[in-house]
A and B are shown apart, each in its own frame.
Chain A
Amino acid sequence: MSAAITAFRMQLRLALRTPNFWMAQSTAPPQTLLFLSVIDAFDRPDLVSHALLAPMLISMWGTAVWTGGSVVRDDRWTGRLELHVASPTFYGIVVASRVGAVVLLSLLTVPITLLTAWATYGITISVTHPWLLAAVLAATALAITATGIIFTSMTILSRVGNTFQNSASYPLLLLGGAFVPLALLPGWIQPLGRLVFLSWSSDLLRDSVTAPVVARWPGRLGMVVLLGAIGFYAGHRLIRVIMRRVAVTGTLSSS
């Protein structure tokens, strides 16, 4: 536990000193502007919550994948990954803690997005279910961390892990309803989207902001947690398998 907490704290320090992190955060204002301009052009103020949710989720996911991915990538390129392997603490615990720290920091996107909306279009949001919103954001952060571990582990296995992260992120965000609700996508895609925790998160986040009554929210929140837990287990197993594989092939080192 001490190792996990120390790794978490260490990554908080590192992330705030890392340009990658701030670059991921800096995407939120222009994306907010983009989505709000579309809403404004089509005169659909009822879709404001959709327009604000998209940059938040994109930025949170981007931070988890890119800054989280750089945890392993940097460790590998600077020779630290081998030192981690030789230590008594399983590297999966280190990765989970450090990606978690980055995702926690990525929640900064929420005030950044709201501030951008207010500063550019004078939009203020009143949240109908603030406690539910907080709970869904927390569950989403945990699920993003868990899924981020899977993406991050790919950078151990493959030296072109960036390509995988890049190519897999966009479909995941689309299926997760980050851009538009899953219900607006073709019917045959929707069952697939329901396997992605983000689709449950995004619907619940929108409802917690605008819906007078949020139907079946405990079950929907439970799905976010359940799919996140499955992602965590898969990521953890994947790292164990990958570490064993690279120890056999001798491809752990960058040099």
Chain B
Amino acid sequence: MNAVEISLLRREFPGKTRRSEPVVALADIDLVIASGEIHGLLGPNGAGKTTLVKVLSTILIPTSGSARVLGKDVVAEAEAVRTTIGLVFGGDRGLYARLTGRQNLEYWAALYRVPARQVTATVNDLLDRVGLGGRADDRVETYSRGMKQRLHLARGLVAAPRVLFLDEPTIGLDPMASLDFRRLVTELRAAGTTILLTTHDMAEAEAVCDRVSLIDRGRILATERPATLGTWLAAFGWVEGQHLPAEAVRRLEGIAGSAAESRPDDWLRFLPSTESARADILREMVAAGVTAVRTGFPSLEEVYVRLVGDRGMDL
């Protein structure tokens, strides 16, 4: 059985005024996530990621279409869906600041119907897994933002959900904590948990996901394996050089296949279309005696712009 099956799912919100057209947050999307899969949902702010998570977690009712979690309809069988899912929103909101971390988890364990005799062991285990065992009995208001986010993760796991929705779970986490998060996701994968992970971070998606869907303006643009993401990143990587001689610029534009973009302080950016072209540009710059060179990868939004611009919406 698939963990998540979405068919022609649409969600509209009212416009700002009564005469305004409704805002389409999800535009008739289809998506299937296999049981045990870690599925990434990548998109910029306002793309529809959180709306999709809210529909799947029964917080929002879709305008049309259907969504099933472990075979249960999220509208008609919402109560059954809730017993199988865990939900983690990003950021440091959503906790009881005047309670301790342990008290927060005990409260949510009761709401998720964890048997009373198992609550203490479950809570202790989760606190240790997210590295909060030593601060378990401190009030949450004394936690750093990253600690609160880790407590959120523990909260989402309190009922050992079969399907876990993680909405921007690494917001506020430092790099080490983000690595710990990836380790935790790997453990969950081994335990057979299905995860839908929304993120801005391509590298994070590439590191932990089996497949990734790109979403923008409520539409799923593409669903690919993470290796394809690596190709996109390489394909749209840029190379910049400073104080380039005019002759070198002409040769480099020939290699890149497009005109260079001017940047402040006499930097020029080249956008090669392949990884080999990028290597050729770097070699050519060194050969031309350029000493100030830098390379980088596009932001997710830049990848969207170039993907959509190059191929239209039919990716």
Could you tell me which A residues sit within 8 Å of B by CB distance? 2-3, 5-7, 10, 13-14, 17-18, 78-80, 82-89, 94, 244, 247-250, 252
Contact = CB atoms under 8 A, between A and B. Distances in A.
A157 to B, nearest CB: 16
A18 B87 contact: no
B25 to A, nearest CB: 8
B59 A7 contact: no
Contact of A86 (B59, B99, B113): B59
Contact of B89 (A13, A83, A88, A89): A83
Contacts, number: 81
B65 interface: no
- Closest 10 A/B residue pairs (Cβ): A6-B110, A79-B93, A79-B94, A86-B57, A89-B111, A88-B82, A87-B111, A17-B98, A247-B61, A3-B110
Contact of B111 (A82, A84, A247): A84
Given A3-B110, A88-B113, A78 B94 contact: yes
A85 B98 CA distance: 21
Interface of B: 11, 13-14, 54, 57-61, 79, 82-83, 85, 87, 89, 91, 93-96, 98-99, 103, 106-108, 110-113, 116, 155
Contacts of B13: 250
Nearest to B87: A86
A86 B93 contact: no
Query: Which of A84, A88, A248, A249 has the most B CB atoms < 10 Å from its CB?
Result: A88
A210 to B, nearest CB: 42
A48 B79 CA distance: 53
Contacts of B58: 85-86, 247
A10 B103 contact: yes
A7 B94 contact: no
12 contacts: A6-B106, A6-B111, A10-B96, A14-B98, A18-B98, A83-B89, A86-B59, A86-B87, A88-B83, A88-B112, A247-B60, A247-B61
Contacts of A83: 87, 89, 94, 108, 155
A2 B116 contact: yes
Contacts of B11: 250
B61 A7 contact: no
A96 B69 CA distance: 30
B110 A247 contact: no
Nearest to B113: A88
Contact of B113 (A3, A79, A248): A3
Contact of A87 (B14, B61, B94, B108): B108
A82 B156 CA distance: 13
Given A82-B89, A83-B108, 9 more contacts: A2-B113, A3-B113, A10-B103, A13-B99, A84-B111, A88-B82, A89-B110, A89-B111, A252-B60
A81 B111 CA distance: 13
B82 A86 contact: yes
A88 B111 contact: yes
A52 to B, nearest CB: 33
A249 B11 CA distance: 10
A78 B98 CA distance: 13
Contacts of B85: 86
Given A10-B99, A79-B89, A250 B60 contact: yes
A244 B96 CA distance: 25
Query: Which of A14, A79, A86, A89 has the most B CB atoms < 10 Å from its CB?
Result: A86
Contacts of A247: 58-61
A139 to B, nearest CB: 27
Contact of B59 (A5, A6, A78, A85): A85
B154 to A, nearest CB: 13
A147 B111 CA distance: 23
Contact of B107 (A10, A79, A250): A10
Contact of A6 (B83, B91, B96, B107): B107
B110 A88 contact: no
A248 B61 contact: yes
A252 B13 CA distance: 13
A7 B110 CA distance: 8
Contacts of A249: 14
B236 to A, nearest CB: 32
Nearest to B58: A86
